[in-house]
Amino acid sequence: MSMRRTGIRLGLTLAVCAALAACATQPQKPTFAPAVITPIPVVPAPPVATAPSTTKSSSDQPWAGIVASDVMQDCANSPLIRANAAMYTRSPARFEQLLKQSLPLIIYVHEQLQQAGIPGEFSMLPMLESSYNPAEPSRHGDPAGMWQMMPRTAHLHGVKVNRHYDGRLDPVASTKAAIKMLKSLQRRFGDWRLVDMAYNAGPYAIMGALRDRPDATDKPIPDLPVSHATRTHLARLMALSCIIRQPRRFHVELPKPTAGDELAAVTVPAGTRLKAAAGMAEISEAKLRKLNPGYRGTRVPDDSPRTLLLPTGAAESLTTALVVDSSESVAQVNTPEANSGPSNNLPLPAEPTPPAQTDGSASAAPRARHHRVRDGETLWSIAHRYHVSVRDLKRWNDLRDSDIHPGEELRVRG
């Protein structure tokens, strides 16, 4: 989830898309409880081929749904927010074009965030991070995907990354992981503005900044001792939210969704050829791959989530074709409720316990009782390596905070 390359990436986008390519900012207001939103109706898997669902949901009016769940509404109170909003809309037509081409994913992400109780502003976070490009590439060790997740962050949140599949590039898997992360940060900080800052800079950086200046949250952009990039990250997210909330003020017309803009996820059998799936879904293979760039080969690997994100009509066609081919339902259309998953609502401890490894590369923890800290290691990474909690590491080593230094020897067993 490390977002330190956001400024560089959005600078490149700015060169391509004029005023749009700067990083967006996150809005935050003193009220932290999100507004109550009408749940999205379930789209059931059809037993036979049917026309695309015409049931109205929040995707018919995604912008109204986003605004209704906003919690940070300081558009007029920060020069930094106003300046970034003006920058994004220097060319209203180009901004509208970017929203239009991103609309299916905006609708999908908003539905997932809504189900998880996350404010509408965060529907614009992938716009800030990657201009909503799920295939946003990375060099080795860099963040990737529309949520711009680092490899280690992805691993800690159960996102698979291997030679055949990169879950950071999968809109379904990466959105689930981002929701878990955002909810965990909200439990830690209780302030959605700080959640955005922590998403960009990391939670420990924000915890340290709050220790230095605990009364710095009374301004629209908290006056914390953080980097300019982190402060700008929040300002730009809030600026994007202001534009969505007050489009006329910025001479912008928000695009209206069409019938093909709503997406649904379909679970397919392991080994399914992407070309064959596209044929059964009655869409081009190029379109299927554009929505599902996490699959790197020609098939859906056995060790992947095996979900394909498709326009609702195509999802129904694929489901029906798979049912007919197998004489039983081997594919299930996942609605927003199913995609958000019950795991998103599980409470996490205040000091998170590193999850067990999920890629099968090392299922057993090292048996050593002591560990010498190497350059670049953190308490979190050491705890994850030995399958223990950060809290236990602090207790065993009489640590008051998470500061450790290369060469220091730590107990890793009780």
Integer-rounded Cα radius of gyration of the chain:
22
Q: What is the pLDDT of residues 318-329, one digit of tens each?
A: 998 888 765 433
Q: Note the pLDDT of residue 295.
A: 97
- CB-count exposure of residue 155 (10 Å: 0-12, 13-18, 19+): buried
Residue 246: its pLDDT value, please? 94
Q: Are strands 333-334 and 263-267 parallel, antiparallel or unpaired?
A: antiparallel
**Which CATH number belongs to the domain containing residue 394 in this structure?**
3.10.350.10
What's the half-sphere exposure (Cβ side, CA atoms, 13 Å) at 26?
26
* Shared domain check, 333 and 210: no
Do 322 and 279 belong together in one domain? yes
pLDDT digits (tens, 9 = 90+) for 11-27: 434 333 433 333 333 43
What is the distance between the alpha carbons of residues 61 and 38, in angstroms, rounded to a whole number? Answer: 12
For 114, 120, 179, the CA distances from 123, given in Å and listed in that order, are 9, 6, 11
Residue 38 to residue 40: CA distance in whole angstroms: 7
Is residue 408 assigned to a domain? Answer: yes
| Residues 6 or more apart whose Cβ sits within 8 Å of residue 61 | none
**pLDDT confidence band for 251 (50 / 70 / 90):** very high
Rounded to two decimals, the pTM is 0.67
Q: Which of 309, 344, 379 is the last residue of a domain?
A: 344
Among 344, 375, 401, the domain-final residue is: 344
Q: What is the DSSP letter of 389?
A: -
Lowest mean pLDDT segment, chosen from 26-40, 96-110, 180-194, 197-211: 26-40
> Are residues 330 and 357 located together in one domain of the fold?
no
Least confident interval from 20-34, 201-215, 224-238: 20-34
* DSSP letter, residue 404: -
Which residue reads 């070309």 in tokens? 275
Q: Is residue 36 situated within a structural domain?
A: yes
Query: Does some domain include residue 82?
Result: yes
193: domain CATH number? 1.10.530.10
Q: Please state the rounded mean pLDDT for residues 93-114.
A: 97
Looking at the fold, whether 155 and 198 belong to one and the same domain comes out as yes
The answer to whether residues 288 and 158 belong to one domain is no
Asked if the model's pLDDT at residue 248 lies above 70, the reply is yes
For residue 215, being part of any structural domain is answered with yes
The vertex-381 CA angle with 376 and 383, nearest 5°, equals: 140
Please report whether residue 330 resides in a domain. yes
| Same domain, residue pair 80 and 195 | yes
State yes or no: pLDDT of 232 exceeds 60.
Answer: yes
Number of domains in the chain: 3
pLDDT at 93 over 90: yes
Spatial distance between the Cα atoms of 234 and 206, rounded to a whole number of angstroms:
13
Amino acid at 239: A
Residue 172 is assigned to a structural domain of this protein: yes
Tell me: do 170 and 72 sit in the same domain: yes
pLDDT in tens, 289-323: 999 999 999 999 999 999 999 999 999 999 988 88
By the 8 A CB rule, do 75 and 245 touch? yes
| pLDDT score of 131 | 95
Residues 271 and 381 in one domain: no
Question: Do the domain assignments include residue 237?
Answer: yes
Write out pLDDT tens, residues 352-398: 444 444 444 344 445 668 888 887 677 766 876 787 877 788 888 88
Examine the fold and report which residue of 223, 250, 277 is the final residue of a domain before the chain moves on: 250
What percent of the chain lies above the pLDDT cut of 90? 54
**43 & 157 share domain:** yes
Domain presence at residue 1? no
CB 40 within 8 A of CB 337: yes
Same domain, 101 and 188: yes
> Do both 21 and 123 map to the same domain?
yes
**Does residue 154 carry a pLDDT above 80?**
yes
Query: Both 324 and 353 in a single domain?
Result: no
**Looking at per-residue confidence, does 81 or 392 come out higher?**
81
* Cβ–Cβ < 8 Å for 238, 25: yes
- Residue numbers of the domain that contains 309: 259-344
Q: What beta strand segments (E) does 282-321 contain?
A: 307-311
pLDDT number for residue 73: 76
